[in-house]
Structure 1
Amino acid sequence: MEHKSDEKAKELNDWLPITNSRTAKWWYSAFHNVTAMVGAGVLGLPYAMSQLGWGPGVAVMVLSWIITLYTLWQMVEMHEMVPGKRFDRYHELGQHAFGEKLGLWIVVPQQLMVEVGVNIVYMISGGNCLKKFHDTVCSDCKDIKTTYFIIIFASVHFILSHLPSFNSIAGVSLAAAVMSLSYSTIAWVASAHKGVQPDVDYGPTASTTTGRVFHFFGALGDVAFAFAGHNVVLEIQSSIPSTPERPSKKPMWKGVIVAYIVVALCYFPVALIGYWVFGNKVEDNVLLSLEKPRWLVAAANLFVVIHVIGSYQVFAMPVFDMVELFFVTKMHFEPSRILRFCIRTFYVAPLRHLVSHQQTKKIQLILDRKLGMHCAWCCSDDSMSNWWVEADDITSQGLQILLLAAYG
């Protein structure tokens, strides 16, 4: 009986997207981690620096890089800390730490909020950047609503979401990682080429202590959001083969080191050069401060679109795994291609509807702000809580909570 149960569990693992392919190389880990971590939020780092100032800004950036690398190392080590067992999913590690039921209740809601929340952000950002690309290359064309660009972006995921496993999205993830390095390079090289502006000022923008404090904490949040991706680390490592002689943590850690070098090459030049050139007048998306050349700004926006396509898939894959596991083990569905097709299609479609809905438009700027796409809030000297201007709206409240989960 126990043998049959083990066989069934193995068959299920061979079908689920996180564990059905364990043939990844160390470089898969590198570009999956780059794709998960380096978001379009890198373009907002100069703005975060402008709120922190040179000393605190550099210190926060360096500490964030070191601390997140250390915590990621901890997760890599915990993947196989129990001999003969792999914690392939975040909730499995939670169950080991807190117990079967409590572990699920602690981990699963938070992980779903983070991953679904990030997918919502990426869908909106992808649509917005696609529109910016269109408007830049065809300024005389008829204006097209952002909703249609979001639909175009979502249609790509109706296809890519049916790829079976992490290893099958490796090409998409690699393209996304290359794009993140590309648009980051465009941002800092174009800024350096423009040179320090004549009226540059590195002083605080707020004239009151209250304003400075809120700007400071907002900037801390922007930097923290930029160093994301830990919630998919175990799932990425699960795709790497492991033996007693060569555990998966060795190639995984090698990939993580490469990924963090790329992160440093993306983040530090953009943050420091962007702030050095524009000072406290830098926009929350440094590309908006550049304005010209138009073709370069258009290319950067297109690169962001390609990047968030890959990031969407990396964050969606653990959700697919979780939902498919639930339907098979709890709802007693047979593992099949039809089940997989239905689950993944019905995941993408409601998200597309949500981000295109009229009620949701009120908080699109708030969501985009976390990726450095638009300026959604600003603590003026007279008001400390402009970020919550839509807080009375039920839909807005729910999505603000969702955003805070992704933000953490």
Structure 2
Amino acid sequence: MGDDREAGQSSKVKNIDDWLPITSDRNAKWWYSTFHNVTAMVGAGVLSLPYAMSELGWGPGVTLMILSWLVTLYTLWQMVEMHEMVPGKRFDRYHELGQHAFGEKLGLWVVVPQQLVVDIGTDIVYMVTGGKSLKKIHELIVHDGKPIKLTFWIMIFSSVHFLLSHLPNFNSMSIISLAAAVMSLSYSTIAWVASVVKGIQEDIDYSPRGASSSARVMNFFTALGDIAFAFAGHNVVLEIQATIPSTPERPSKGPMWKGVILAYVVVALCYFPVAWIGFLMFGNSVEDNILISLEKPTWLIVAANAFVVVHVIGSYQIYAMPVFDMLETFLVKKMNFEPSSTLRFVTRNTYVAFTMFIAITFPFFGGLLGFFGGFALAPTTYYLPCIMWLILYKPKRFSITWCLNWFCIALGVLLMILGPIGGLRTIIVSAKSYQFYS
């Protein structure tokens, strides 16, 4: 009798796992991890990197970008390694690894709030970005028409997500993710090639931006947040790896790491030329979105903005998937709802509507990047993996691994504290002159 009940329960658990987005399909190829990671990491933040450089100056800007690239590659490697550190078990979700490191209860409280802030915050920023890019395309093509409010462009952008958010899992959105990854490389290339064509501007100034020394310090902090935001994609790493098949002979970390390396090459090709060439050509007069500095040729800027729209459509879905998984897990496992398409329809549409509403209410693009960048992305990307590594693998004190992890933790904590200060100031300054729903 007891065996029957246990068998019934385990088949119920299996049915739920087969229904939930993260664990429903484990047939991903290694290259899926490349374009999922590129789509997750290369956000529209790449277009604000020349602006971040103008707030940092050459020395700190170049140093911080290379350092961030290396540190985040290292912490991503740690997460890939820890995914199957317990034989026969897979940590399919970030919070499951957190629970293994910090304990059942504490692990949830450490990881879930931060992961939710990152995923939802990023989706809100992408709503704003998608709406702004559509508005820019309209302005460039239609010269004599009446301007349309940003609010409506964000609504138009979100309408796509009311459809796409019903894709069941990561593998079902691989085509969208591939298109998004190709687009990110395309608009990044357009941004730096068009900058080269435009050439170095007259009266160029490379000194850090800011009218006073206090403004320069604040701008420096904001730029730290922007760069943290640009290199953050770790929130969805374990969830992406969960879709790759794994056997004791061929664990998932092999193909996953292969995909990550290629993704990081693409990230370097997107980020470094845009940031450094954009700053070289425009100096500290560069706009917070490099495409705005490049007014001509019109067709090229329209194309770049269209690529941005396609890319943030894919990115939005990548960040939304773990949130859908958390919501659906909670409703099905804790609240005992039946797994059904109706439940999925209601939860996912509610989520899209919520992110749309917040984006329409607070569309301060630059400040939001800095604020979310430091506040939540720095922990989950720069130092949480290191803390878990120290707890679980216990490297010898003062060994290379131990020192490396503590260096990453120190850098991450610094970004987490300083990034939001500048971001919050930018939001306050924007809010002074802002009219709601204009």
TM-score > 0.5, shorter chain as reference: yes
Alignment pair present for 1:17 and 2:56: no
Matches within 5 A, 1:6-405: 6-206=10-210, 208-357=212-361, 360=362, 363=364, 366-367=367-368, 386-387=425-426, 389=428
The residue type equivalent to 2:368 in the other structure is: L
Q: Separation in 1 of the partners of 2:425 and 2:213? A: 17
Closer, same or farther in 2 for the Cα pair 1:202/1:364, shift >3 Å? closer
Q: Give yes or no for contact 2:222–2:367 (8 Å, CA) kept in 1.
A: no
The residue type equivalent to 1:163 in the other structure is: L
SS at match of 1:239: coil
The residue type equivalent to 2:71 in the other structure is: I
Q: Separation in 2 of the partners of 1:193 and 1:60? A: 27
Q: Give yes or no for contact 1:183–1:303 (8 Å, CA) kept in 2.
A: yes
**Offset of 1:142 from its aligned partner?**
2.1
SS at match of 1:389: helix
**Offset of 1:97 from its aligned partner?**
1.2
Closer, same or farther in 2 for the Cα pair 1:386/1:115, shift >3 Å? closer
The residue type equivalent to 1:177 in the other structure is: A
Q: Separation in 2 of the partners of 1:262 and 1:256? A: 10
Deviations 1:225-262 (A, max 9, x none): 11011000000000000001110000000000000000
Q: Separation in 2 of the partners of 1:12 and 1:214? A: 48
**Offset of 1:391 from its aligned partner?**
10
Structure 1 spans left out of the alignment, 5+ residues: 373-382, 397-408
**Offset of 1:279 from its aligned partner?**
1.2
**Offset of 1:135 from its aligned partner?**
1.0
**Offset of 1:160 from its aligned partner?**
0.4
Structure 2 spans left out of the alignment, 5+ residues: 374-421
Closer, same or farther in 2 for the Cα pair 1:125/1:368, shift >3 Å? farther
Partner residue, 1:402: none
Q: Give yes or no for contact 2:195–2:281 (8 Å, CA) kept in 1.
A: yes
Instruction: Please provide the CA RMSD for this pair.
Output: 2.3
Deviations 1:296-325 (A, max 9, x none): 111111111111100000000011111111
Closer, same or farther in 2 for the Cα pair 1:173/1:371, shift >3 Å? farther
The residue type equivalent to 1:268 in the other structure is: F
**Offset of 1:385 from its aligned partner?**
7.5
**Offset of 1:356 from its aligned partner?**
2.8
Q: Give yes or no for contact 1:94–1:104 (8 Å, CA) kept in 2.
A: yes
**Offset of 1:285 from its aligned partner?**
1.2
Q: Separation in 2 of the partners of 1:58 and 1:341? A: 45
Q: Give yes or no for contact 2:200–2:281 (8 Å, CA) kept in 1.
A: yes
Closer, same or farther in 2 for the Cα pair 1:99/1:275, shift >3 Å? same
Partner residue, 1:378: none
**Offset of 1:204 from its aligned partner?**
2.8
SS at match of 2:148: coil
Closer, same or farther in 2 for the Cα pair 1:344/1:276, shift >3 Å? same
Q: Give yes or no for contact 1:47–1:286 (8 Å, CA) kept in 2.
A: yes
Closer, same or farther in 2 for the Cα pair 1:369/1:289, shift >3 Å? farther
Normalising by structure 1, report the TM-score: 0.88
**Offset of 1:217 from its aligned partner?**
2.1
The residue type equivalent to 1:222 in the other structure is: D
Q: Give yes or no for contact 1:210–1:384 (8 Å, CA) kept in 2.
A: no
Q: Give yes or no for contact 2:222–2:423 (8 Å, CA) kept in 1.
A: no
Q: Give yes or no for contact 1:46–1:272 (8 Å, CA) kept in 2.
A: yes
Q: Give yes or no for contact 2:196–2:277 (8 Å, CA) kept in 1.
A: yes
SS at match of 2:339: coil
Q: Separation in 1 of the partners of 2:307 and 2:39? A: 13
Q: Separation in 2 of the partners of 1:250 and 1:109? A: 30
Deviations 1:375-394 (A, max 9, x none): xxxxxxxx99842527999x
Q: Separation in 2 of the partners of 1:384 and 1:353? A: 21
Q: Give yes or no for contact 2:368–2:427 (8 Å, CA) kept in 1.
A: no
Normalising by structure 2, report the TM-score: 0.83
Q: Give yes or no for contact 2:131–2:154 (8 Å, CA) kept in 1.
A: yes
Q: Separation in 1 of the partners of 2:263 and 2:371? A: 22
Aligned residue pairs, count: 381
Closer, same or farther in 2 for the Cα pair 1:173/1:385, shift >3 Å? closer
Closer, same or farther in 2 for the Cα pair 1:258/1:392, shift >3 Å? closer
Q: Give yes or no for contact 2:51–2:287 (8 Å, CA) kept in 1.
A: yes
Q: Separation in 2 of the partners of 1:278 and 1:252? A: 39
Q: Separation in 2 of the partners of 1:165 and 1:257? A: 23
Closer, same or farther in 2 for the Cα pair 1:169/1:141, shift >3 Å? same
**Offset of 1:291 from its aligned partner?**
1.0
Q: Give yes or no for contact 1:36–1:311 (8 Å, CA) kept in 2.
A: yes
**Offset of 1:343 from its aligned partner?**
1.2
Closer, same or farther in 2 for the Cα pair 1:385/1:6, shift >3 Å? closer
Q: Give yes or no for contact 1:17–1:320 (8 Å, CA) kept in 2.
A: yes
The residue type equivalent to 2:116 in the other structure is: L
SS at match of 2:205: coil
Identity of aligned residues (%): 67
**Offset of 1:338 from its aligned partner?**
1.5
Deviations 1:263-286 (A, max 9, x none): 000000001111111111111111
Deviations 1:195-233 (A, max 9, x none): 111211212333644333222222222111110110000
